[in-house]
């Protein structure tokens, strides 16, 4: 999954949740570990983990077309 813009990683799936201090950067590739409603728990290449809104990520399909989930 590709991050659309700089997004703070959060400890819980909520805008009110405390940020972990790490940020998913624009155009950074992240691994989606799980989904809860409109939130994704992701891990970046540095190993930082946290929750980000699903709307802040693009997914590339098998055909290379990027779809918004």
Q: What is the pLDDT of residue 55?
A: 95
pLDDT surpasses 70 at 12: yes
Beta-carbon contacts of 16 under 8 Å, excluding residues fewer than 6 positions away, are none
pLDDT digits (tens, 9 = 90+) for 27-40: 999 999 999 999 99
pLDDT digits (tens, 9 = 90+) for 59-69: 876 555 444 54
Single pTM value for the model:
0.84
Q: What is the pLDDT of the chain when averaged over all its residues?
A: 89
User: How much is the average pLDDT of 47-56?
Assistant: 96
Residue whose structure tokens are 């802040």: 56
Number of neighbouring beta carbons within 10 Å of residue 38: 10
Top pLDDT among 58 and 60 is at: 58
């Amino acid at each position: 999954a590709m991050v659309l813009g700089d997004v703070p990683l959060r400890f819980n799936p909520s805008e009110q949740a405390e940020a972990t201090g790490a940020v998913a950067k624009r155009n950074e590739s992240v691994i989606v570990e799980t989904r809860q409603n409109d939130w994704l728990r992701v891990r970046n290449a540095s190993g930082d983990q946290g929750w980000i809104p699903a709307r802040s990520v693009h997914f590339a399909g098998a055909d290379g077309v990027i779809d918004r989930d």
